[in-house]
Structure 1
Amino acid sequence: MSTITIYHNPDCGTSRNTLGLIRNTGIEPTVIEYLKTPPSRETMAGLIQSAGLTVHQALREKGTRFLELGLNEPALTDAQLLDAMQAHPILLNRPFVVTPLGVRLCRPSELVLDILPQAQQGSFTKEDGEVVIDELGQRVR
C-alpha cells in the first residue's frame, strides 16, 4: 500500500508534473482522480486544513463555475464554500498530495519535493520544458 496519495486531474499539466515528480522517486502513489471520485466534505476540509490553507485559498476559480455560482461573495462562510466544492469537485484546486511528511497543494508542482520521503532518482523535466531535477537527481533552482 502506498504512503503517498495524490488527488489528481489527468487533464491538468500541473497535476501530471506533480505525479511525475512523485514517480521519479520510485514510489507509485495512490492516485485519486477526484473529479471521478470526489473526496468527502470532511476529507476536503482535512486536506485544506492540513495544507495550512483557508477554504478560499483552496478554491479553483479558473475554468470553473466560480463566478456563476457567486463564490466571489465575501460573506460566504467556509461551510458554504465547502458545500459548493462538494457539489462541484472541479472547484477544489489541484493537486493535493498527502505523504508521511505532510500535505500540500502542489501549485507549482515543485512544492511536492518538500514532502516526498525519498530522493529523486534521476532527471525530471516538466511538460513545458523546464528542467526541475538534474541528471544527478538534484533540484535545479
Structure 2
Amino acid sequence: MKATIWHNPDCGTSRKTMAILQETPGINLTVIEYKKTPFTREKLEQLFRDAGLSPREALRTRGSPAEELGLIDGADGDRILDEMAKQPILVERPFVETDKGVRLCRPQDKVREIL
C-alpha cells in the first residue's frame, strides 16, 4: 500500500505517526517535509476535503502566527487556505494519505484508520 505523510521532523506526533507507518508491513512510504516542500493550495483543498475537514479545523493555532494574522476569529476558509499555502507552519500536522483516505493524525493512532 502506498502512503504519503506530510511530515515535520520537529513534531513529536509527526515522528510517532511516521514510526507507525515505517513499522507497518507492506507500506511504500513517501515522506514530504512540508517546510522544505510546501503545500500547494490545491493540495491543501484536496487533503482537507478527503479528510472531511474545513480549513479552520486544520489550522494550527499553537506555535504558529495564526492569531497575529487574524485567522482565528473571523477569517474565512479562502483566506486561511491562502495563508496556509504561504506559511505551511499554519497547517496542523501530520496529514497522511493512502488509498483508503486521508487523516489528520492527531493523535498518531488515527493513521491506523487508513492502513
- Is this a same-fold pair by TM over 0.5? yes
Instruction: Give distance in 2, aligned partners of 1:62 and 1:9.
Output: 15
Residue ranges of structure 2 left out of the alignment (5+ in a row): none
Instruction: Give distance in 1, aligned partners of 2:44 and 2:67.
Output: 21
**How many Å apart are 1:28 and its aligned residue?**
4.2
Q: Give 2:99's aligned amino acid.
A: P
CA RMSD of aligned residues (A): 1.1
1:102-121 to structure 2, matched below 5 A, reads 102-116=101-115
Instruction: Give distance in 2, aligned partners of 1:40 and 1:50.
Output: 15
1:80 corresponding residue in structure 2: 79
Q: Give 2:58's aligned amino acid.
A: A
1:29 corresponding residue in structure 2: 29
Which 4+ stretches in 1 moved above 2 angstroms? none
Instruction: Give distance in 1, aligned partners of 2:96 and 2:72.
Output: 26
> Which of the two has higher C-alpha Rg?
1
| Larger helix percent | 2
TM-score (norm 1): 0.78
**How many Å apart are 1:73 and its aligned residue?**
2.2
Secondary structure in structure 2 of the residue aligned to 1:6: strand
TM-score (norm 2): 0.95
% identical equivalent positions: 50
Instruction: Give distance in 1, aligned partners of 2:113 and 2:66.
Output: 30
1:58 corresponding residue in structure 2: 58
**How many Å apart are 1:109 and its aligned residue?**
0.1
Instruction: Give distance in 2, aligned partners of 1:112 and 1:95.
Output: 10
Q: Higher relative CO (CA 8 A, sep ≥ 6), structure 1 or 2?
A: 2
Instruction: Give distance in 2, aligned partners of 1:103 and 1:73.
Output: 27
Q: Give 1:69's aligned amino acid.
A: L
Q: Give 2:90's aligned amino acid.
A: L
Residue ranges of structure 1 left out of the alignment (5+ in a row): 117-141
